[in-house]
Amino acid sequence: LTVGLAVTSFREVVVGDRAIREGKWVISEGGLEICNKTVGIVGIGAIGNRTAELFSAFRAKEILGWSRSPKPDFIGRQVDLETVFKSSDIVSVHVPLNAETQGMIGRDLLQHLKPDSVLINVARGGVVDQTVLTEMLCERRFRAALDVFEKEPLSQEDPLVTKVPPEQVVLIPHVGYKSKEALQRRIAITAGNLRAFADGKPRNLVSTW
């Protein structure tokens, strides 16, 4: 989904669709390619690392990654958060929402993004300060593609919908997890967990301590 949102934003897919429906044809001077761009991954666990691999297949110039701990298996270059935002044409967020990550991406980081840069959030809405994000999108400081929001479902009265210029942001309704194949895998894993528990060999345990 992340790569799809990057392509959608860079190649102006949603803007182009809207233009056709409004009887227009030429929408801009042209879109952008992922090739030779720098991609920043915020959160380089299993999902973040796989995302980096997919972007590398598009011949990104460099893959930067940030994590709170060293990740020797990361295929790119691990750097600090500020470097990710200063250097990247695409920033993709892949961290869980907890006390440490709540609002971790705010003005101090977003101010480093370039006008052609795209911030992609398919993690959790609360990781990004949505008020600041909305304000800076209205100012056309950068672009965004969002699958998650602080409050879901997103209200039709939310400023992301009513105030941000539509060419600045792509909004989709939290579908990152929702492919038919992924849902089938969930069912299979759940069934396997129940079977293992019944056999006295529980697996995929979650600690509540």
The catalytic site residues sit at 124, 152, 174
Q: How far is CA 88 from CA 65, 110, 113, 154, 206, in A?
A: 10, 11, 8, 28, 35
Cα separation of 23 and 77, whole Å? 45
3-state secondary structure 16-65: HHHHHHCCCCCCCCCCCCCCCCEEEEECCCHHHHHHHHHHHHCCCCEEEE
80 burial type by CB count under 10 A (0-12 exposed, 13-18 middle, 19+ buried): exposed
Cα separation of 13 and 20, whole Å? 11
Helix (H) or strand (E) holding 146: strand 143-146
